[in-house]
Structure 1
């Protein structure tokens, strides 16, 4: 029994350094919902139903601008396409788990929970699927609780959050905390640099497609470097 709780606790401990970055992000999402005229059920409830920070912000702004429902839904799907890649990457690690448990893992998926699980257990084939799931759930549930609390706080404060706090500055910092530990060799470093440059250069594209362009170019650059290194090793 102790080992079971240990897996959950390890997940929580791994997530702890990333939780502070989610607080200002969540408060922004809640404040934007309040400013858009959402009621408490919609403003706070979207964090339970959608549970996707960037998609929530985009959807809220579109609703406030009276955009068609189809546009709102499609925008949310486009923004969250990266989770399809995350799911495909994690699926082999959770083979054998019940559909109900896998559905819970999917619902709680965030950039943080995905990255921590891959960094912790991605290359370790000796760890069982249930152990990985417990680790994942420990961190993911902690993030979910913090996110709900932050969005509820932001919603209640609404426009009273002064711009001078610059809460949006903490959002990229939380992602940098995930990125840096994952840069372990030349391929991942070039992938990160390429992705960042392309994403900034293409930031003006509609539907946040600059992010996808950066991700695609970063992955391609990393793959090319890795492939060339493999060929050199074969020649040797």
Structure 2
């Protein structure tokens, strides 16, 4: 019988291939904060308080151009709206856990931890909530440590990383590594293709609304394809 520690280590092992992709992303977030004139406490501390890569980058850039506080907050909320969908999807896996425990899971949520948990346990899964939470925490804590270390390194290095390194290229590669294994049927393929197309078309929308619009359109496309083929199956 596997010990409780085995679940934590399983989560860490599953997350290991994705950790290198977070390093350049975190360094970029830290370097942008340094270039925006943040102090050490704010530049590095925002990774602890906010802990959301895309939202950190967007908020930091808005602070640098002296945007109104309301716009900065709303932009962060819009960029992170996808986590509300992630939370709804994972809620059934963590039933029975205390509010404090679920709050910790919510704080540590990333695209990677969500994708790995869903890939491991699917729609339901046979493990109990505590075992699922241990797997989730193993990977999520590993990502949290790497992200904080990377943003701190990026902040301290500042703009000394040569632009020719093109570190930002690793960011989409990291997301592609999460996306491709999740495309398993027509519905997920339709969701991915629609979301990608709309994201490109809507990239110029104000306040980064293109991300939310693309996510909503991708979900709608996947749902329509899934229900269409389900209806065909019922008629057979």
Whether these two folds match at TM > 0.5 is yes
Once superposed, which parts of structure 1, at least 4 consecutive aligned residues long, lie more than 3 Å away? none
Instruction: Please give the residue correspondences for 1:217-232 in structure 2 after superposition, counting only pairs within 5 Å.
Output: 217-232=217-232
Q: How does 1:52-131 map to 2 (within 5 A)?
A: 52-131=52-131
Aligned partners of 1:71, 1:222: CA distance in 2, in Å? 31
Cα deviation, 1:148-185, whole Å, max 9, x if unaligned, reads: 00000000100101100101000001000110110001
Where in structure 2 are the equivalents of 1:1-236 lying within 5 Å? Answer: 3-236=3-236
Partner Cα separation in structure 2 for residue 204 and residue 66 of structure 1: 20
Mapped partners of 1:156, 1:32: distance in 2: 11
SS of the aligned residue for 1:132 comes to helix
Q: Which runs of 5+ in 2 are unaligned?
A: none
Assess if the C-alpha contact under 8 Å between 2:97 and 2:129 holds in 1. Answer: yes
Q: Distance in 1 between matches of 2:125 and 2:17?
A: 26
Aligned length: 236
| 3-state SS in 1 of match to 2:176 | helix
Cα deviation 1:167-222 (Å, max 9, x = unaligned): 10000010001101100011111111111011101111111111112111111111
Q: Shift of the alpha carbon at 1:123?
A: 2.9
Counterpart Cα distance in 1 of 2:133 and 2:72: 32
Q: Is the 8 A contact 2:82 2:215 kept in 1?
A: no
Superposed CA deviations along residues 78-97 of structure 1, whole A, max 9, x for unmatched, are 11111111111111110111
Shift of 1:126: 1.6
Q: Which runs of 5+ in 1 are unaligned?
A: none
Work out whether residues 93 and 124 of structure 2, in 8 Å CA contact, stay in contact via their aligned partners in 1: no
Mapped partners of 1:122, 1:101: distance in 2: 21
- Compute the displacement of 1:122 (Å): 2.5
C-alpha separation in 1, matches of 2:215 and 2:84: 13
**TM-score for both structures, normalised by structure 1:** 0.97
1:63-90 CA distances to partner (integer Å, 9 max, x unpaired)?
A: 1111121111111111111111111111
